[in-house]
């Protein structure tokens, strides 16, 4: 395993998820080691840098004509909330179907199941 890494963008577009964290904690921060569900078969190599995006649950759109009605959640439709970039991840060890990496930057809380993708 090389002792130094050259940060680079993956040669192919990557979309994956964080599947585990080294310490088994619920909240992931800067300099934590995490596992993602993409690896060599997806084109990842040590040194590849990916963006981390938070996954937000769908919300009820309970506004009607500019105000919130007290019973609006009963009939409101769910709308998707856009993902927000929360960090930067760098791969340091790859396997066929998974990779280990380091959260290099975290601007907000990161969780297991958050997405990683080519910046």
Q: pLDDT 10s per residue in the chain (119 long)?
A: 556 778 999 999 999 999 999 877 878 999 999 999 999 999 999 999 999 999 888 877 766 655 566 665 666 677 788 889 999 999 999 999 999 999 999 999 999 999 999 98
Q: How far apart are CA 99 and CA 90, in angstroms?
A: 10
Q: For position 59, what pLDDT does the model report? A: 76
Angle CA(21)–CA(23)–CA(24) in degrees, nearest 5?
Answer: 65
Hey, what CATH class is 15-117 in? Answer: mainly beta
Q: How many CB atoms lie within 10 A of CB 38?
A: 23
Q: For position 35, what pLDDT does the model report? A: 96
Residue 117: alpha-carbon gap to chain centroid: 7
Residue boundaries of the structural domains of the chain: 15-117
Q: How far apart are CA 62 and CA 12, in angstroms?
A: 40
């Amino acid at each position: 395993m090389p002792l130094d890494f050259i940060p680079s963008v993956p040669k192919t577009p990557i979309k994956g998820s964080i599947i585990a964290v080294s310490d088994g904690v619920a909240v992931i921060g800067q300099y934590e080691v995490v596992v993602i569900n993409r690896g060599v078969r997806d084109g990842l190599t040590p040194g590849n840098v990916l963006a981390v995006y938070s996954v937000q649950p769908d919300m009820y759109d309970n506004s009607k004509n500019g105000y919130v009605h007290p019973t609006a959640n009963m009939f409101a439709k769910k709308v998707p909330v856009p993902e927000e970039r929360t960090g930067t991840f760098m791969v340091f060890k790859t396997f066929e179907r998974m990779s280990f990496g380091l959260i290099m930057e975290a601007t907000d809380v990161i969780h297991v199941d958050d997405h990683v993708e080519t910046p």
